[in-house]
Chain A
């Protein structure tokens, strides 16, 4: 299964998004969530992102969902420090955090690969709210 890494400025958003996503999974997969700074404030902690990327199951790839500026920049800094073969396994999605994480979880747990999942969650229609 493709793994999912959720990065938010807020630990509550990160953990809440993970909780929502896990509710939808059809099979076991590795979902990790990091958020907030080491002293518990809003922000991002590069060391926590680095640790999560080290520990997460990378065998089938990792899709990263991030919310705002520093979550994206902190991820990019860590990403650039990784070996090219590891980099190739990890992709930051151009997708909204909550919707992206939930849909990626569903797709991954149905056995879709990285490319297929990214194609689904990077579609503009993922943010439409009037198609319920």
Chain B
């Protein structure tokens, strides 16, 4: 077990196969993750005028994607930004009702995020509530995730498209939020059930039991990291942080500059005009060796040009891959770079990302 944002979490489940087996289960069958460490913030309009759109205005103010485009039952990836255009955190915003939104945030930043959200929605006729302790969140991920979940719920899962959600009975529990979301670059669902120990254990065990015929494995933080890395999904404190801006992180398509003002927009406007100083690229090791988080990146002349944000062996791709910040001039696919691994500078090259795309 490791301490992760105050939660004791398994890096892997060695008794059932360990990290590589878990990673492969999610790519080829199904895996289940206990992701209850994720935080949940509900933003709802107050007052009697439910058409006031205060909650929407608040969400628009604090996040960079355009929440006005969300239908009820739809979710999208977004981020909370500092006035500098850098990251407070990334979030998945769910529109739960006419005047209700659910923001799912990271564990490590949960308290900071909640205070930040509460402070920044003060001017709007809405409430922000931290409901993270109310839910156990399980992520059921992999090509067989829908087959497995359909044995535990009567909800119409095929009708739930990617980044949409529904509510239904799961394992006999009423009104469970079932979202087709995840952090594995694979099809899958995240379900939110009551957090009491008995209910949580019951659902966890029933998912594992029902998953047997589909080849399920319980999966830990280790596989969660390698899966998201193959899919080039950002991790707070690595690819995104309060010193990295949206353009650098390459998250432009989730940032809607034309939706109206929002926190960080002015700084991003300015940053765009000034041009990029660094950009996030995918690297694949050419020499034998593994790039790891924070290793230094050099150009071919041996000048230090950047650093690795996340690096690891990629269990499905069977390559040693990394994400790294480098100057834009060195970001083109095929560019040869060097990564300092202990005492040696090893050859690497810039490759297209995501490293892994699921077959559709």
A binds B: no
B residues lining the A interface (CB < 8 Å):
none
A residues lining the B interface (CB < 8 Å):
none
